[in-house]
A and B are shown apart, each in its own frame.
Chain A
């Protein structure tokens, strides 16, 4: 191994042997790992951290969650007290988001609604993700008769009128946040499972999967180390659809008696209540609607960043 000073430009000058010193070869040093070994997840996290969009999305999500906790506390008004003398007031210094049809403070209501909608939206999405990916992964990867059966089961569940299921749930269980999420998850995971199944069917015949299989990798390993990570794109996109779907389905459930306990409201029910007077009192719809869009935008930016971070092909 030769070392020389980089600063000094090479010249025509002759070098003599004594100018050189021999560096002893250190066998151990050669084996040393200079760069810290990082797992795929750590690596993904590093890349996620450096993704401006993803971090921006994440901070908005965090902000929304923080506001859901402290929002109702920073206004002197509570979310439930009626003030029938001040119904449908536009936003003002007093009521920052205006008041609703019973004169309740929309700012407090909106952030109380955020608690419900964020919990419902994200937990429904998470449960859908877990069940959908596992079910769809198995369906698509194993295929054959098992796929036939599982596929048909998912189709049957999907076709059963969910209104009937929701009504039955109200009768059997007390309406609660848990019941709402449960009702949303009964059919919610199916779309995800079908998307994942399609991806599996396409990916399982790719060369790298065949290679991995011929190296003796187990089915589960192939499924969750190769196929699922390579399907992250469609999975994340489907997930981002699941969140607003859950938020609005919750509002529909309230028609069937499976809503949140009045006088509390979720973003979905607030938008529903405001719909008929949308043109007259737009602020009643605008604030929850903007917050839903903002949540989705932030979630998407974060999701996109996550996908990029987890995608081995985009590694540079």
Chain B
């Protein structure tokens, strides 16, 4: 026994010394290495020899299959790795991408795309019209598993929905069983003909959306291709060169890309760190060249300070997303328009932005955010969102009227938000404004994300937070949310006039008429009905090192670094 315990002590001692020597032994060379790295970094920065761009993502893309993508990280990476028929410029205007030119039939339902002959996959194969046809039909194939969630983005194409849903019992419209009836066809290797269900004004802008990207036909034989760097064949400015699961991704310049001379970065390193303050610390210690949205985050409370200390590196840009509160339009007391209006009028949005959200957002009085294209310029500057005004005195009066109509004397309700620091702050600030200005009692409820979504979808709430970001550059992206029975209509809103206006706008070929119809619809939604409570239009906040040029955030908040370079 004695020997055994001596052994125990000895083992412990050995472990100590082993640990200490392990630390001491390797920390010196490690330090040296770090120093060398720092030196080479410095060198890197001066003559801009090695063009490496480093940014962080707070989440890992589930996979890099354009057909399956539905999160912002996937979008940011896919946008650099793949290229659709069109590309999008900073304002969301479609540019030539893999298609160098196209014709649109006079009725607006037939598009003929001419693909560039020099477009190549990262393995050297040419990118053909067949690849697009293959990729789109693959997404629409009802047997493709798991079913691509964003398949509905392709429903603009003729017979696409009917084919995609022909095996679903719940689907009652015309079913299409033959994939050849779907309105996409490669006429030859470089010509793609697309038939639409009805004229769609924003179809060209849709084409730069991920679901419309081509995929290499070899994916047929390898169902797991999209989560392994070795098997991802892409046609964009970059290719995936390394993917260490849960920790980092590395993109390398695609030398087969037709415009490879425009691409300056030879490498793009994406770290996966989920904590905003850690990301900022990484940026501060020069481990990152870019920090912030859309893939990363900067802690809100740091922004006012960064505005002072890093004035030249911080950039705040409005993006096409809206932040608002939902009213449960179906349930008392929020079935009463006056009560909804009173609450909307009784908050001070600018104060909220200046003191609480701190990111230079724009106060919102409508649902369609700035940045979305209108008739000639921006929709929001052509159609002003003066649907209602902030006015506490007026709000008090309207609230009293509303309460009387409902036979109530006081107002007490729940406000739900999902766990998030910023949502929490905003909810508390708004609740405080309401109770001060209107003398109502608000119970703030914090809910876990999935619980929150479930409650919201089931209309199991009174007032709830919501945010919407656009998928394409058109007001319709926001407005069709609240059509009767719409998949995202989480407020129980149903207005025949509204539905009719939008239905008309969806098929209209006259751009001016479309815009007018949509403006009328928005007026009904906000001015007439106050179905939701607009709060602010989002901004994208980021930090870019001064020597990084040509990296920009587009109208919808996507990051574009494909034409960037280090100075």
Question: Which residues from A are CB-within-8-Å of B354?
Answer: 84
Chain B, 449-484, CB within 8 A of any chain A CB? 451
A280 CA to B447 CA in the complex, in Å? 28
A254 CA to B424 CA in the complex, in Å? 11
A311 in contact (CB, < 8 A): no
A171 in contact (CB, < 8 A): yes
Which of B203-211, B312-320, B395-403, B427-435 is the interface stretch? B427-435
**A263-B276 in contact given A170-B448, A256-B448 (Cβ < 8 Å):** no
How many chain A residues touch the partner (CB < 8 A)? Answer: 27
**A102-B451 in contact given A84-B429, A257-B445 (Cβ < 8 Å):** no
Interface digits, A217-241 against B, CB 8 Å rule (1 contact, 0 not)? 0000000000000000000000000
Question: Which residues from B are CB-within-8-Å of A256?
Answer: 419, 448
* Residue contact A80 to B301, C-beta cutoff 8 Å: no
**A280-B302 in contact given A256-B419, A259-B446 (Cβ < 8 Å):** yes
Q: What is the number of contacts between chain A and chain B, taking CB atoms within 8 Å?
A: 73
Q: How far is the CB of B196 from chain A (nearest CB, A)?
A: 44
B167 in contact (CB, < 8 A): no
Q: Which of B276, B305, B433, B443 contacts A261 (CB 8 A)?
A: B443
* Residue contact B431 to A263, C-beta cutoff 8 Å: yes
Question: Which residues from B are CB-within-8-Å of A276?
Answer: 276-277, 299-302, 421
B351 in contact (CB, < 8 A): yes
* Residue contact A262 to B299, C-beta cutoff 8 Å: no
Q: Which of B276, B356, B421, B446 contacts A262 (CB 8 A)?
A: B446
B355 in contact (CB, < 8 A): yes
* Residue contact B427 to A262, C-beta cutoff 8 Å: yes
Chain A, 80-105, CB within 8 A of any chain B CB? 80-82, 84-85, 87-88, 101-103
Question: Which residues from B are CB-within-8-Å of A88?
Answer: 301
Residue of B276, B351, B444, B446 ringed by the most chain A CB atoms within 10 A: B446
B117 in contact (CB, < 8 A): no
Chain B, 338-391, CB within 8 A of any chain A CB? 351-352, 354-356
**A85-B355 in contact given A262-B427, A277-B301 (Cβ < 8 Å):** yes
**A261-B432 in contact given A276-B276, A276-B421, A280-B305 (Cβ < 8 Å):** no
* Residue contact B428 to A262, C-beta cutoff 8 Å: yes
A101 CA to B428 CA in the complex, in Å? 11
Residue of A85, A276, A277 ringed by the most chain B CB atoms within 10 A: A276
A259 CA to B276 CA in the complex, in Å? 23
A85 CA to B428 CA in the complex, in Å? 15
* Residue contact A82 to B429, C-beta cutoff 8 Å: yes
Name the CB-closest residue of A to B428. A263
12 further A-B contacts with Cβ under 8 Å, apart from A167-B448, A276-B301, A281-B301, are A80-B432, A84-B354, A85-B355, A101-B425, A167-B451, A170-B448, A257-B445, A257-B448, A259-B446, A263-B428, A276-B300, A276-B302
- By a beta-carbon cutoff of 8 Å, the part of chain A in contact with chain B is 80-82, 84-85, 87-88, 101-103, 167, 170-171, 254-257, 259, 261-263, 273, 275-277, 280-281
Interchain Cβ contacts under 8 Å between A and B, 16 examples: A84-B354, A84-B356, A102-B356, A103-B355, A170-B451, A255-B446, A257-B445, A257-B446, A257-B451, A261-B443, A262-B428, A262-B446, A276-B300, A277-B301, A277-B302, A280-B305
